[in-house]
Amino acid sequence: MLTVKSKPTIIPTYNLTGDLLSYLKCPLQYRYYNKAALPPSKPVQLWFGEFIHGVMEEAYVRWKEDPRYKKFPWDWKNEIREIEEMINDRLNARGLHAYKKVFCEYKEGFEHPGKCGKLGHPHKFLVSERTDLAINSWGQHLFPLIEEVEIDLKGTREMINYQKNSDRSKYYGISGVADVISSIKIRDSPHGNLIIHYLHENPEIQRIIDATDQEEFEILIDYKGSRRPSSTLDLEGKTTEWHHHEWQILTYAGLRAQNKNAKPVIAGIIFYLNELFPSNRDLLDFQVEVKNGSTDVLPTGRDLMNINKWKHNRKKSQRSDNILSGELRSKRSIRIIPITQEKILESFSHFDNVVKDIEKSVQSEIRGNIIPSCWDARFIEKTCTACDAKTFCPNKECMRYSPQVP
Ligand SMILES: [Zn+2]
């Protein structure tokens, strides 16, 4: 006897960072990299992002479990380097490697110059300057507030304008992982905590706190291995990474609120960890943003003077902590996002639209159209320079990358 199998209900699930934010950067690049399951061609971005997450998590575990790690500052060579080596080994095993000259991958006593080009390993290169500052500046304020790490968040949404004949499913799934959830008692919080200080300083958060009789709140935290993006719309008037990061945090908050054990989430915090020790490229971007006023945390006094007169010099580069003060770098590395119900609903509806757009492109491809005609190509110089599809990309701005005829 034949059994009739019912058609399985497939709900496409979208990951917030891996799918939705990637798609928003550039739909066509997202299609080439993610949907075809091809690895990105420049895994260094991936290496650093994963590395800094791993380091912060391991640092927290040591702080929590080992009394020797309760005291700050931690010494880079004696306390932090071991964590770096452990996380790097783990990433190497997965085929992810750092660029040379941003991270020394050799252990003490290795007697060849190797990729570093000089003896005396371990070297404290750019990435290690950042881990040192991330642990010693934010770790000591953040670790005491941590309630849970790596929190899986999931939800189901209705597909907007569902069409029975063309849409794959009436619903879609949305998923993400929040790095940290902090729990704070607002009237009884640790004194001298810089994170609590920044929260209280924010008038919108203060209003949210004043409007409720709750005592305990949650804060969602996301580490980003990138610089603070420019806070304006792009040249075509479209939203950028800046806005998308905010939607991401608001959506996390919305998904978290569906958990019965959750306390009210009043804020999200993004740590843009590159800001703690900017690279030359980061300084160059910052210089442009300062000139055209397209970033929200601006330098004053000596910082302003230094960044304006700074000249990019490949051969003789100055340490960025000599150019920008610790105070400015710290302020630029933290972004506080107030959470309200209204803004959560808005962010969900932004992603509903993004999913609908992705589904439309998928349908168009299923109907047999060629890939570049199904997915938009968006020009963002930094993303495009590192893109595998740039030489044949249909975006007219990417013509600059087409092979030159001599
Ligand atoms: Zn080295």
CA separation for the pair 382, 361 (Å, rounded): 24
Average pLDDT, the chain: 88
Cα(362) to centroid(ligand 1), Å: 46
Closest by CA to 362, choosing from 30, 22, 21, 24, is 30
Cα(41) to centroid(ligand 1), Å: 25
Minimum mean pLDDT range among 285-299, 308-322, 331-345: 308-322
**Is residue 136 within 8 Å of residue 128, measured between CB atoms?**
no
Cα(104) to centroid(ligand 1), Å: 4
CA separation for the pair 406, 404 (Å, rounded): 6
- pLDDT above 70 for 332: yes
CA separation for the pair 102, 104 (Å, rounded): 7
Cα(97) to centroid(ligand 1), Å: 14
- Quickly state the pLDDT bin for 39 (edges 50, 70, 90): very low
Minimum mean pLDDT range among 18-27, 42-51, 275-284: 42-51
The DSSP letter of residue 3 is: -
Cα(268) to centroid(ligand 1), Å: 37
How many beta carbons lie within 10 A of that of residue 160, not counting itself? 13
Per the model's pLDDT, the better-predicted residue between 79 and 45 turns out to be 79
pTM, rounded to two decimals: 0.90
